[in-house]
Structure 1
Amino acid sequence: MDFSLSAEQQERYDRIRTAAPEISSPGSAAIRRHGETWKEMAALGLLGAAVPEEHGGGGFGALDTALLYEGASDGGADTGLLFAAAAHLFACVRPVLEFASPQTRKALLPALCSGELTAGNAMTEPDAGSDISRLATTATRVDGGYLLDGVKSFVSNGPVAGLYVTYATTNPDGGYFASTAFAVDRDSLGLVAGEPMRKSGLVACQTGEVRFDRCFVPDDRVLGSPGQGQVVFRTSMLWERSCLFAIYLGQQERLIRRCVQHARERRQFGKRLADFQPVADRLADMRLRLESGRLLLYRACTEIDAGQDPSLWVALAKLAVSEAAVATSLDASRIFGGRAFLTEHGIEEQVRDAAPATTFSGTSDIQRQLIAREMGL
């Protein structure tokens, strides 16, 4: 059992870590600058990492893809931007790759990988978050396709996306097979994308509402077969709950470095902060959480790459890394004291970016339920 990265993986990690600061944060000019920022991330391989080269992607498996995102985050790329790229790749591009028709894959994947086309993850509804079995959005069968009606909320990349991967109920009595997945063009008649929501965290990932009003989607934009919505969604979640959270490994690595430096330099009562045992203990706990989560996340990605059932490891990794991200960001704020609340130090931003991690992609409580189910309870 080898716990070290190969020379090739380490070189790739170091390269993206060095290039990460070049990714610009769109700030207040988000919509105007989106295309430029998106192309910067595409150039680093983040938008198509887990897509075969024949479709314009990097051809990486789950572990190498996770390492790209971890390296970019470790290097200082904005967490919200990386989250936007990850939502694009894992919640949208992967479903198109795995479930779309050959013609649709050929039409969409190169543009999705190159940054010419942004994808939005339109699953969550006002009354349905992680529960895809109770979607109010419906898809009614008509000649040549479906008519979608409903509202999706918290759509990552919603205001700027050119393509939406969405889910709708096609058979209310179908149980597990009640829903169907679709890839819907932004310019489809009856689709309205709302303005960006004002958020306190992950600000650079633009999030909005998307409405479907008798929006026609042709048959060739069905992902998988009618009734396979749960299959498509759960497959995408295996990638998202593992690879996306590598962003938070990089964020924790960055925070720990900053805290160690601060503890060495900051003096109180005539001593370095590092010389106070409670501060040293807190830093040790931060490192413990990071390395524990990293091992679980790498294991989950390795199981995906090996073609094994990764469900247990993915749930364990998502739970461990997300909870660690929140705890470590709060510990960093305690180590920095009052300075943590000054925007110039960026600690409060890291707290705000970490806080949603225990909610999106399935809450911590849901991960515990999944783990218990895998244990046979």
Structure 2
Amino acid sequence: MDFSWSREQLELKQKATDFAQKHLNTNVSHKERGNIFPSDEWKKCADFGVLGWPFPKEFGGGGHDIMTTVLMLEGLGYGSEDNGLPFSLNSQMWSTQVAINAFGSEEQKKKYLKPLISGTVGAFGITENDTAGSDTYSLQMTAEKTEGGYILNGEKHYITLAPICEMAVVFATTNPKLGRWGITAFIVDSSMKGFSRSEVRDKVGMRTTPMGNLYLKDCFVPDENRLGKEGSGLSLFTSAMESERGYIFASQIGRMQKQLENAISYSNERKSFGQNIGGFQSVSNRIANMKLRLETSKMHLYKVAYLDHNDLPLMEEAAMAKLYISEAFVESSTDIIRIFGAKGVVTEYEIERDLRDGLGGLIYSGTSDIQRNIIAKLNGVQ
């Protein structure tokens, strides 16, 4: 596998970093503390082309290959002080947009994918309150066939971007007797009667990323809004999840690079007992561990992108990437707090925010335990 980068790719990464540093860092602390979605910055990202980087030009995308895309997303994360906005962008791209691009009809792509790339906000609704989180296919939302479409009833909980979404891809059971093979995906427009959303749910981190619930009550969804064939929801979800697990933390790797640089700079400036704290082995070892996690995370990310680019199976690698990167970010966020000491804990220095933002990554897109189960099963564990 060749993970060397061309000059053009590196220039695109730098442009993404420069854009983020210039346009995405206004009043981040204020927005984070107030659970405020940065709508202006979202629109700027859409205008810059972020939401379309890996998608076809005919639908407004950039047409970039997957390797180039993840590198640019890494640059975006490096330049952004707000982890929530890049996470929101990645979430929409690698779930909602990937699903429509891979399984949607040409008409659905024109009607939904193109606006999403232009900045429309879309959610991906699979998780339910009691049954469908890690146990993805135990859905309670139903879709009853009727003339010209389906009547959907049920709720989706803990859904990224749900409180502000203008449309959503949701999964419902069309035939409960078939279990997971009776699951079907639908594109639901927020203007449809019976569609509603909750307020933003408060959470420990990623507070500029709105999370909430979707409610469908006797919501009529026309046949033309069924995504894929009836009963194909399993295949659609699996495909989208491979992309989401593999790439949703691409921007977080850029943040890990920034953490490392901040830790090195501070350890060379801060003095204790008459010397720079970087001279203490406990501090230098933490920095070494941060570097090791960063480089290992890159290798996991780039391998998934390489396999994807070459149309090779990537389920196991995507699970390993999601597992490793999410846990590495939490560990490195803890290390930098220890290096900064009291400044790392006090919110005014904005060091502790990375740790809070990282905690959700252990849960999103399948918990760390689920990723370990996937990896074990793919290696023959019964």
Task: Return the TM-score normalized by structure 2.
Answer: 0.95
Matches within 5 A, 1:123-134: 123-127=126-130, 128-134=132-138
Seen in structure 2, the aligned counterparts of structure 1 residues 322 and 162 have a Cα distance that, compared at 3 Å, is same
Structure 1 unaligned residues grouped into runs of 5+: none
Q: Supply the distance in 1 between the matched residues of 2:218 and 2:62 (Cα, whole angstroms).
A: 37
Q: Supply the distance in 1 between the matched residues of 2:81 and 2:285 (Cα, whole angstroms).
A: 28
The one-letter amino acid of 1:101's match is S
The reply to whether residue 118 of structure 1 matches residue 121 of structure 2 is yes
Quote the residue 2:3 is aligned against: 3
Q: Supply the distance in 1 between the matched residues of 2:371 and 2:263 (Cα, whole angstroms).
A: 30
Q: Supply the distance in 1 between the matched residues of 2:275 and 2:320 (Cα, whole angstroms).
A: 40
Q: Supply the distance in 2 between the matched residues of 1:211 and 1:224 (Cα, whole angstroms).
A: 22
The reply to whether residue 232 of structure 1 matches residue 236 of structure 2 is yes
Quote the residue 2:76 is aligned against: 72
The one-letter amino acid of 2:36's match is A
The one-letter amino acid of 1:123's match is I
Quote the offset at 1:369 in angstroms.
1.2
Matches within 5 A, 1:79-94: 79-94=83-98
Write the deviation string for residues 105-125 of structure 1: whole angstroms up to 9, x where unpaired.
11122211111x110122111
Quote the offset at 1:274 in angstroms.
0.6
The one-letter amino acid of 1:60's match is H
Quote the residue 1:241 is aligned against: 245
Q: Supply the distance in 2 between the matched residues of 1:262 and 1:240 (Cα, whole angstroms).
A: 34
Write the deviation string for residues 229-274 of structure 1: whole angstroms up to 9, x where unpaired.
1111111111111111112211111111111111000001101011
SS state at 1:173 partner: helix
Q: Supply the distance in 2 between the matched residues of 1:309 and 1:244 (Cα, whole angstroms).
A: 18
Quote the residue 1:363 is aligned against: 367
Quote the offset at 1:283 in angstroms.
0.6
Q: Supply the distance in 1 between the matched residues of 2:244 and 2:282 (Cα, whole angstroms).
A: 35
Quote the offset at 1:77 in angstroms.
4.4
Q: Supply the distance in 1 between the matched residues of 2:107 and 2:72 (Cα, whole angstroms).
A: 29
Q: 1:30 aligns with which of 36, 50, 68?
A: 36
Quote the residue 1:321 is aligned against: 325
SS state at 2:145 partner: strand
Q: Supply the distance in 1 between the matched residues of 2:81 and 2:203 (Cα, whole angstroms).
A: 19
Matches within 5 A, 1:201-212: 201-212=205-216
Q: For structure 1, which segment, 294-303 or 171-180, has the greater mean C-alpha deviation from structure 2 after superposition?
A: 171-180
Quote the offset at 1:376 in angstroms.
2.1
Task: Return the TM-score normalized by structure 1.
Answer: 0.96
The one-letter amino acid of 1:57's match is G
Q: Supply the distance in 1 between the matched residues of 2:99 and 2:257 (Cα, whole angstroms).
A: 30
Quote the offset at 1:2 in angstroms.
2.8
SS state at 2:97 partner: helix
Contact 2:36 2:207 in 1 (8 A): no
The one-letter amino acid of 1:266's match is R
Quote the residue 1:145 is aligned against: 149
The one-letter amino acid of 2:125's match is A
Q: Which runs of 4+ in 1 moved over 6 A?
A: none
Structure 2 unaligned residues grouped into runs of 5+: none
Quote the residue 1:291 is aligned against: 295
Q: 2:256 aligns with which of 221, 240, 252?
A: 252
CA RMSD of aligned residues (A): 1.4
Contact 1:100 1:221 in 2 (8 A): no
Residues matched between the structures, number? 374
Quote the residue 1:20 is aligned against: 20
The reply to whether residue 199 of structure 1 matches residue 207 of structure 2 is no
SS state at 1:51 partner: coil
Q: Supply the distance in 1 between the matched residues of 2:175 and 2:219 (Cα, whole angstroms).
A: 18
